[in-house]
Each structure stands twice: as structure tokens, then as C-alpha cells.
Structure 1
Amino acid sequence: MINTKVSRYLPYVGWRPLQAKIADFIYSNLGEGRGVVIEAPTGVGKTAAALAAALAYSEGEPIKVIYMIRTNNQAIAPMRELSKLLKVKGLFIPYVLVRNRARMCCISSTSKLPYRDFLMECNYLKRTGECRYYIKLRESGVDHSLFMDTVAGLESPGEYVKSICKLGVCPYDASRMLISDARLIVLSYYYLFSLNAPEVVDLDLKSSILIIDEAHNLPYAVLDLNTQYLTEAMVKAAVVDVRRFVSDINVKAGALRALASIRALFRDLFIGVTEQGERRVDSTKVLEYFNDIDYLSEASGEVLASKRSRGILLAGTPLSDIIDFYKSVVKMPKDKALFLSIGNDGRAIVSRLMDPSVAASGVLNNAHSFIVMSGTMPPTRLFTSLLGVKVKVSELRIGLTEYVKSSNVKAVVYGEVTTKYTERSEEQYSRIAQALISVYDAVNHSVLAVFPSYDTLKATRKYIKQGVDLVVEIGTTTIEDVLGSIKVNPHKLILAVAGGKLVEGIEFRFNDINYIDAVAIIGVPYPEPNDFMNGLVDVVKSRANYDDAWHAVYTWQALVKVKQAIGRGLRSDKDRVFIILMDYRFKDNPIIWREMTNYLPNIEVTSSEGELVRMLKEFTSNNLNK
């Protein structure tokens, strides 16, 4: 029986059985210096359960609940539940949202600047009295009651910012001022997991319960948050800025010399680096190319001033990023390393944090409690090894078939193909394409085909015949465009990349119908081995054995991506989906096979395309929901 105190904070009339189980487990395990791991399928109601348990636990105590978000869309979930709690039960929880200052700015042109340039512009506007939102806040403060009345019932970050802008005050600074008055804080990862954040928030972790949804991404989100790039394109753009906007002859000449030296870095150090990936490089070799760097600082100030005087919107400059990168290399701690990288955006020098625990362990170990949850959590021992968690952790894992009927899922390993690097060939790509076409022809709605990389996607696409209505994930693809296209014609073959925008954080659903009939996972989406990934294995190995370290970095990244892809077809307990694991390695790798058979009911194996299509048609013929 769920605690009545917890039920008070449920934003619905009643509990779903699994949701009540999650809330009860969290509430009973929230204690000082404790962690809670929750794995449960999408649709169970994890967000509402975690919020209800945490708010109930903190009631009457000097404990704040901090809901951590990585993306703008992730803020929608807690805001939606708070809005429902107000509407259904008339209970308002005082809360604030704190994202980076640019995303909360009322001046739209300024908010689109690169973040470092935005902060410079923001400080300039405040210093000169040109930001009326800051001036009003400084002179009049913010009325607590009016602020909370304004944000009550809002359901998106965009509404939140617009509503506070209408009060005439800066949403970012006003929200930070009211942190002490809030019971719940919706907070960007940046403020707790960035080692060099220009701005911080005043929080007492010992008196905070952290809720982190989609936590399967947390170790790599922490690493990304502490990564800096110097790209060749950035240097070329800086040259254009100097030539166009710097009038001082000496400064211009010195800055161009400095940039020419940095451009030579890309010419010299990348000799022999041709494949996509990352190769480690000593920082001393990189610093040799940073000459006359002081001229870049002078040029940066002149460029920004010149652009501002000419009324140019988005008046940033890549010079600022180059200077920041140089400073980070000069002061680079032992936990970071430099890599030569060639990716889809060209050549780059990348400064990476090598150990996510450096940024995460202090936060998680010092919090009063934390709740990490996802539909695809890796094993707790591997997750805690990556993040350096030392406190006691309790876990609750709800399997897919506890939520979805076994009859709603059919999974088949199609062993006729593989994307294993040593076996890739045009014949393999042709076979994959033919199998996808046969699957597409056998369903009424859409097939989501998930590739391990964009290269394998492109190699397969050329074999897909005309007449197939394709949606292909590329850099400019937007979720809105994809969903709009499906509305026009729901019979699509969607080519996506594992871990990409069409596999995480999207629902192909309209009017309670999920338009994904089949999910085909082409190949096991292992990360590409490179110096960075292997270095990460070495870091984790210092806290675990080699096998666990390798699986934490490689195997479980692949499995999480596979489960995320499967989840696109199962967004509620009413959905039905046919899963095709298109690679013999799903059966031949013991760890992957064990995990898949535990996760999916009754997996069959076939190397016959005809048999695959027969099983698909048999499954869809029993589908009464679509």
C-alpha cells in the first residue's frame, strides 16, 4: 500500500500498479547518503513517481528537490507533472527553472550568440544600462508571490521564460534569486557537472535530493560537458573576422600571424590521420603553434566592438573560443587529454575529460540522496564504477514484459547480415537493404531502421529501390519535419543512427497510435575503438576488473542504444512492435545474447529472409490495435 503522504503529491487521481511500486521503493530508500537506481520502461510514470516520493520525503524538512536536465525538452516532464498536480489536486509546489543564461534571455538576438560571446555581451548590456530587464530587477527586485503565481501551471521552458519576461525582469537572475524560496529546482547539468562553469548556483548538496532522468546518458553527458573543441573551420572564420573588423594595423598583423601558426597545426599534426576517430596528442606539441596569442585577445575585443558599432546581430567571434581553448590547454589538469579528431564537421583538436567521476563523484556522493532512472540503465556496478559512486545504492528494475504483454512484442535475430568491420562489403549492404525493403513492404505503417553509424547508413541507402518512401537522418534533420512527413504518409522507411536524434527523445505517435510497426537494428552499435575510448577503459579499470571496464565502455553503450531503439516502438503498454536484430553477433556474443533474451520475450533466430517476412506477417495479422 502506497504511503498516503506520497499519494498527496501524485498528480493523478490514482496510481498505476508499477508506478506505485516505483514511488514506494524510492520513498523507502531515500536516506542520507543513499542512491536509488530505477530502470522501468517508458510510459510507466517514472517522473511522477520520483517527484511524488522526493517531495513527500522532503516535506517539512530543509531539503530541496533538484530535477536535473540535460536538454530543453527534458525540462518539460517535471513542469508538466507540476502543472497537473496543481490542476488535479490544487497543490502548487514553489519551483524555479535555471538553465544557462542565454537560453533564458529576453533579448532574442543576444541569446543566439555563442555562449562565451553571449556572456560578454550580457555583461556589456548590464554595465551600460541597456538591458531593461536587468535594470528593473536590480532596482525593484522580484516579488516572490507574483513570480510564483506567474510560473504556476506552465508546462514548458519556453512558456516559463516568456512569462517572466512579461514581468519585465531577467528570468535567469530572478530564478536564481528565488532558489532559496523554491522547494523544487529544475536545473541544467551544467551547474553541477561542469568543472569550469563561468557561473554557479548556490546549493547545499547535503540538503538536496537529486533526480536524474534518462540517466543512462549521464557518464557521457558529463564527459561532453567538459569537452572543448578547436576546429579548423573556427580558425578560418576567425581569419575572416580579423581581416574585416580589425583596423589597428599592428593588432591585425599579429592576430593573422597567430592564426596562420594555428592553421599550420592542422596541416602538420594531422599528417597520416585520415580515418574518423580520435588520436591522442601531447599538449606540448599543440602549444608550439600558439604564438602571438596576446594579439588574438586584442583582436577579439576590437572585432566585437566593431560589429556592435555597425549594428550587426549575433556579434560573436570564434576568436573568443580559440583563446578559451588555448587557456584550457595551458592549465590542463592531469584528468584531461588532447586528441586529434576527424569527424563529420572536419578536423578538430579536442580537449577531453578522461574520467567522468572527476566531475560527477563529488556531486552524487555529497548529495543527501540521488535518484537515477531510465528505461535502459546499465548494470549498477558498471554505472557506479564509471561515475565513482561510493555511497550505498539500492536498485529496482522493472522488465519490459512486466509492463508490455509478451504477445505485443516479437523479436527475431536475422543472422544473414552483419556490420562487423572486417566483414563489411557492398554485398552485405545490398543484403541489408533488400531485407529492409521486404520488411517495409510487409507493414502498413513505418519501419525504423537503426544503423551503428552514418557511414553504414549511407552505404546501405544506395541499394534501396525507388518507390520506398524514405526518411533519412542527416545533420539538418529535425524531429518536427520527420513527424510532419509521417502525418502525410505513415508508411515510411526511417533510416536513423544509433544514439541519434531519431532514436532518443522522440515519439512517432499521433492520436494514441504509435506509427512504428517494426524496428530493425542493423549491427551491434559498438562505439568505434580509438585512443579516447581505450583511455576510458583504462580509467574504469582502475576501479574495476578489465572485463567490467571494457563492457562498461563498449558493450553497455551498444546495449543501451539497442534498447533505446526498441523503445521507439513501445511507448505504452498498448503498443505492438516487431523487432529485428540484424546481425549474427546478437546471437553469438554471450553477454549480448543473455541481455537480449532477458529483455525481450521469445527471441527466434533465422537466416532466411522469407522466414523473417513470414514471422512479421504472422505477427502483424494478429495486431488488433492498428
Structure 2
Amino acid sequence: MGNFCRVCGSLLRWDFSSGRRERVCPRCGPVKEGTGTPVIDSQKGAGNGSFPAMVRSPGAGVPRVRKGVSPRESQYARRIIKRANTVSMGLDDIRSMKNDTLKEKRGPDAPAGWAEAPAMFPFERVRPGQEEFMSDVEDTINEGGFLLANVPTGIGKTAASLSPAIRGAMENGRTVFFMTSKQSQHAIVVETARKISRRSGKRIRLVDIISKQSMCPRDLSKLPHGTFSFLCKQQSKDGSCPLFRPPPPSLVHEVLSDINDVKRTVELSVAARICPHRTALEAAKEADVLVCDFNYLFSDLRDSVLGGIGKDLSDIDIIVDEAHNLPDRIRDHQSSELPLRMLDEAMDSVSGRRHVRHYLKGIYDIILSIAEKEMKEEREVLLDKRLFVSEIRSLFTQGSVDGSMDLELFLEMLADISRRSGEKREEDPLAMTTQFLEGLLNMKGSHILYLTIPEDRGLDSLRIAFRNLDPAEISGPVFKGCHSAVLMSGTLSPPSMFGDILGLSRKRRRERSYPSPFPRTNRLVLLESGVSTAYKKRGEEMYRRIAERLVSISGRVPGNAAAFFPSYSMMNSVGEYMWGCPKSVIVEERSMSKGDKDAIIGKLETGRERGGYLLLGVMGGSLSEGVDYRDNLLSCVFVIGIPFAPPSLEVQSLRDYFRGK
């Protein structure tokens, strides 16, 4: 029996709800054993209560849609009902109507399985599998709610999601927030919007925005992120930033006059001597689409971003690309750590301010005394966060020789000292200490606070850290307030798990997994059992064996190949044994610029006809996500192990938290 329904073409699945195993179609219901043909009962309709089906209404004599069916499926059923001319509808009638529907959608020259595209779509044809996903996105945006979509590579999820989202936003006065985890993914979204605009003839107002630091043309942007954020905030407040001025309407108009990428926005703003980030936010007030990072909604930036562009959550439709990254990104943004040596350096930098140094020394002593007591044999120790914060506050209640001080006032004083000092080192100890203590006071219920010492290091490497465990504390209110949200990824599996972790209401969400558009023969997957990435088995011998396999197999594959590792450390260790590789080796580096990544893609494109390259990269890195290796640019991909988080107090706390939840 085939794996697809002979009537509607949907992928069949197994069902056990009746007490026995049977094949079912998600649209038509149970199928006849061995045939793939749905069972159509003249009294009961197709399927059982667990599946969408057409059933007869007693006395009415015409099909109706079973209550509770999803909007996509009910639209499909309504198309059939509308075309029905007789009371009795047989299997041949349904098959004929399905074929008629496909003929209407496909042009005469369309490849098999390809449908004619709607006007607000960047291409002439819709790929197989893309139409169903696009229909689900359209229903989600039109009706409100959430779509958790596990969309395999090759469907074209950017075009399929952006097209109905733009149409819905323009018709209803909302704004689409297309959110990515990496800046490199912005270019695909911007180019897709340009194609939609050209093909449809519609003017689309799009703003492409990245981090304030990445858009800043000043030397200040070269500082570490924490130091830059601190100084930028202070200089914006006191007016010492020469670019922080309201952009003139003419500049905003020029940014919106065409679909510009962020590079063009920066060029226009710098020419006008205006902060590029402020220009982009001003233009976003009138935009149909805002292409931005996760942090613009899923962090403490949310209120200032929405307030700055004059939008409420109910005014926006959210598309989250590579949504499998969202939980960890939220957790990381709500987490911080402070090396004890940095607190020591902060004390030295205020040696002339006796009362300030007194309080910093008190915090230092509290941390050190806990470590000396609790970490004689342990590398990590969990702290009672409420007790620790209470102890810090009591330090300020007791005061110093100059009198007591409020903790929040003390932090403002530290910020002012840091700003006036003009410190522009790689690491500003006062700025880092201030930011950590501010975060400490804003910890949420799921945060853990702990002390940690890196492996093979002494007490002088002690760090205090707090980590967020539950991203739903941040994402839950965002999704609850927005009009709709589409979360998509090729690895959003199972969708239900991600929905629960991110706090999406089960009543408002759809969960979908779409089949790959490529034939199984084109997706050969092989397992090499002779090597392992298990921690206990890692070493020079294993690294050499992995390298030998890569050299041997890649040499037999025409064109380019890529190998992705769980960490930079393992990639570099294996790379040392890549002797005699018949392909030239390209190695990913940390913090690669867009130009660096474009140069690598260029090498792959020009070199594949000359034997090809072997690309070494890291899972979750710059070259493993958000890069379009189009036109079979890679002939073979090696996945070297799975990037599991190493055992730690944080990992154990995550397990305990979600088991209890």
C-alpha cells in the first residue's frame, strides 16, 4: 500500500484510537487496507470522530464539515461541497473534483506537482508541499492564533510565510515582525520582499534593522557588547552622543521609498549625521514589515521597541524563523555572569571613593566567603537567590562610615562614575559589575543563581552567574498579546514540545509537520558506527579516525562537501588530522562577518567544478543555519555527533524545573 491518500494526496498515518491499528488520511479518514483509498460511508461519511471528514446532516442530504475540523481542512471540504451537484457523492466524484481543483491551480506548462502562484508571491509557481504550508499560514494570520510548523528544507518557508503575512498586514493595518536568530538571514527576507513587490506591483514598506551596536558608525561600537550598551545608554540620556537626534521626515521617506537593506539605511543615516538605529525605528512606525532579531520582542527591549514605533502587541503578526533557537536565545538574554576578578578590578577603579569601594568590597566578601565554605570539593554550587539578594541589601542598610545608601541609588552612582571615567577598555569592570547587579535584582521566578569555577582552575577564576530556566516567562506574554504568530524551522520537532516550552496557548495553536518535497532516493542517510563523539571516547585516536573517514568519503563525492561539528574545539582537533584530503579545506571561524561568509559561498560556487571544497563548520554556527546552499552547492553533508549540552548544574536544574512544571 502507498503512503499517500489516493483521493487528496495527503500523507497517511497510523491511528490506534479505535483499539486497533489502521491507516488513516488526515483529511478523508480511514483508508481501505492495502489500497490507500478512503472508506466513504453513505451514512457516516469518511473517517471517525478523531479525523476531519465530510458527514451527512440528517434530513439535509448534503455534506457538511465535522465540527472541530481545522480551518485549512474545512476550506478544502467547503470547496468540494460547493461543487457538489447531487445528493449522493461517490468516491469517483470526489476524485474528479480534486483533479479539477488541481487543474485550475496549475498552468499548462507547470511541472508535475507545481501550482500556479497567487499574485502576492515572489515566483510564478508554488513548489510541491509549499501550497499546504502557505495555506496554513494564511489561515493562522487571518483568524489569529499560532502555527508551529516543522518545515523541511526545500519547501521555501520564507516565501510561503512572508507572502500571506504581507497581504494580511496590508489589508488590516498590522505590522509583520519577521524575526531571525542571525543577521545573515535578513538578506533572504529582504530579497523575497523585493520579488513580491515586483511581481505584485504593490509598494511594500519594509525596514531592516539589526542591533544598535552593529549599526553604530562610531568607534564606540568596537567595544565589547556590555560596555557599548552601557555607554550608549548613558550618552543618549545626557545628550553627549553627536548622532542621537530625531531623523528628519525626508530621511524616513527615503528609507521607506524602496525596500532597502540595513546597509543602505546606515549609509543614508550616516550621510545625514543621524543615529542609524534611531532612523530605522522611526521608519518602522509606517512599515508593513520589520525584519529584526529575536531580542526586539523577546527581551526587556520589547516595551521600548513597541513604544518607540507606536504599536501594541495586538497590532503585529509575528514570524519566527529558525524557531528552534528561540528558547535558548531567550534564556541566554536573561542570563549573566560576573568573574570575581572583575569585581576586584572595579574596586581598584574607585579607590579614591571610599564609600563606593566599601560597598563593592562588602559584595566581594559575601561571594568569597560562600565559595570558601561551600566549594571545597565542588566546581559549582547553587545559591538561594532570595537569601543572597537579601544579604546584599542588608549590606546597604547597615551602611558605611559615610552613612547608609539605597542599593538602586548605588547602582545609578556606579553608572555615572563609569560614564564620566570615559573607560573604553575591552572590559570595563565598573560597567560589567553594574549590569550584573541590575540583572540580579530583576531575576524572575525560574532563575537560578550559582557559583562556578572552570575545570582545572583555582578559586581566583571564581564566577557568580544567574541563568533563566523558563523562556515562557518572557515569550508567553508576547504570544498572548500578539494577533498571530508563525514559528517555523526545519527542526521544530516535536512542535508540541516547543509550544509548551514557549508558553503558547494550546487552544490557539496549530501544530504541523510537513513532508519533504524531495524523493527519498535523493535523501540518502548513512550511519558510520566506527567512530563516536561521546565524551569518554574523545581523544587523538578518535579524532584521527573521524578525519580519515571525512577524507576518504569526501574524496569520492563530486563537488563540494561540508562537515558540521558539535563545537569549535572538536572541529579544530579533527582538522589537525586532515592530511592528504583531495579537496581544499575551508574552516569556519568564530564571529565571521557577512563578507567572510559571502566569500566562502563564492569559493564553493566557483570551485565545485574543479573537484570542490570540504567545508568544516559548527552546528548552530554561522554556516549551518540561515545560509542558502542553492543549486546543489553541497553534494554531501557530514554531521559529526549531536551538540548535547555537557553535564552541568544548569542542565540538571533545567531537567528538574521542567519535570516539576
TM-score when normalising by structure 1: 0.71
Query: What is residue 18 of structure 1 aligned with on the other side?
Result: 129
Query: What is residue 498 of structure 1 aligned with on the other side?
Result: 619
Query: What is residue 42 of structure 2 aligned with on the other side?
Result: none
Quick check: 1:535 aligned with 2:653? yes
> CA 1:492–1:2 in structure 2 vs 1: closer, same or farther (change >3 Å)?
same
Give 1:215 shift.
0.9
2: CA distance, partners of 1:313 / 1:115? 12
Quick check: 1:248 aligned with 2:352? yes
Is 1:118–1:316's contact at 8 Å kept on the other side of the alignment? no
Query: What is residue 164 of structure 2 aligned with on the other side?
Result: 53
> CA 1:181–1:195 in structure 2 vs 1: closer, same or farther (change >3 Å)?
closer
Query: What is residue 378 of structure 1 aligned with on the other side?
Result: 493
Query: What is residue 37 of structure 1 aligned with on the other side?
Result: 148
Quick check: 1:398 aligned with 2:514? yes
2: CA distance, partners of 1:321 / 1:454? 26
Give 1:157 shift.
1.7
Is 1:473–1:497's contact at 8 Å kept on the other side of the alignment? yes
Give 1:367 shift.
1.8
1: CA distance, partners of 2:213 / 2:556? 48
The residue matched to 1:199 in structure 2 has which SS? helix
2: CA distance, partners of 1:98 / 1:499? 22
Task: Write the deviation string for residues 159-206 of structure 1: whole angstroms up to 9, x where unpaired.
Answer: 222223434443333443454433223343223211476834233222
Is 2:194–2:259's contact at 8 Å kept on the other side of the alignment? yes
Query: What is residue 280 of structure 1 aligned with on the other side?
Result: 382
The residue matched to 2:526 in structure 1 has which SS? strand
Task: Write the deviation string for residues 522-568 of structure 1: whole angstroms up to 9, x where unpaired.
Answer: 3343332333223323333345xxxxxxxxxxxxxxxxxxxxxxxxx
Query: What is residue 316 of structure 2 aligned with on the other side?
Result: 208
Quick check: 1:417 aligned with 2:531? yes
Give 1:334 shift.
2.1
Amino acid of the residue matched to residue 625 of structure 2? E
What does 1:59-208 align with in structure 2 at a 5 Å threshold?
A: 59-105=170-216, 107-114=217-224, 117-118=227-228, 121-122=231-232, 125-126=235-236, 129-135=239-245, 137=247, 141-143=248-250, 147-195=252-300, 199-202=304-307, 203-208=311-316
> CA 1:279–1:530 in structure 2 vs 1: closer, same or farther (change >3 Å)?
farther
Give 1:214 shift.
0.9
> CA 1:451–1:298 in structure 2 vs 1: closer, same or farther (change >3 Å)?
same
Give 1:358 shift.
0.9
1: CA distance, partners of 2:378 / 2:585? 34
Task: Write the deviation string for residues 426-453 of structure 1: whole angstroms up to 9, x where unpaired.
Answer: 5444432322232233234444233334
What does 1:382-461 align with in structure 2 at a 5 Å threshold?
A: 382-390=497-505, 391-400=507-516, 402=517, 404-424=518-538, 427-461=541-575
Larger RCO, structures 1/2 (Cα 8 Å, 6+ apart): 1
Give 1:380 shift.
1.8
2: CA distance, partners of 1:449 / 1:283? 42
2: CA distance, partners of 1:178 / 1:538? 45
Give 1:423 shift.
4.6
Query: What is residue 464 of structure 2 aligned with on the other side?
Result: 349
1: CA distance, partners of 2:515 / 2:228? 45
Amino acid of the residue matched to residue 218 of structure 1? L
Give 1:355 shift.
0.8
2: CA distance, partners of 1:482 / 1:10? 28
2: CA distance, partners of 1:328 / 1:422? 37
2: CA distance, partners of 1:518 / 1:59? 42
1: CA distance, partners of 2:125 / 2:322? 25
Give 1:88 shift.
3.6
1: CA distance, partners of 2:554 / 2:370? 45
Amino acid of the residue matched to residue 501 of structure 1? S
Query: What is residue 552 of structure 1 aligned with on the other side?
Result: none
Rg larger in structure: 2
Amino acid of the residue matched to residue 504 of structure 1? E
Give 1:96 shift.
3.3
> CA 1:233–1:98 in structure 2 vs 1: closer, same or farther (change >3 Å)?
farther
Give 1:225 shift.
1.9
1: CA distance, partners of 2:450 / 2:333? 16
Query: What is residue 335 of structure 2 aligned with on the other side?
Result: 227
Query: What is residue 526 of structure 1 aligned with on the other side?
Result: 644
Give 1:360 shift.
0.9
Mean CA deviation greater in 72-81 or 291-300: 291-300
Of the three residues 426, 429, 445, the one matched with 1:334 is: 445
Give 1:484 shift.
4.4
Instruction: Output the aligned Cα RMSD.
Output: 4.0
Give 1:386 shift.
1.0
The residue matched to 2:193 in structure 1 has which SS? helix
Give the number of the structure whose residues are more often helix, by fraction.
Answer: 1
Amino acid of the residue matched to residue 123 of structure 2? Y
The residue matched to 1:338 in structure 2 has which SS? strand
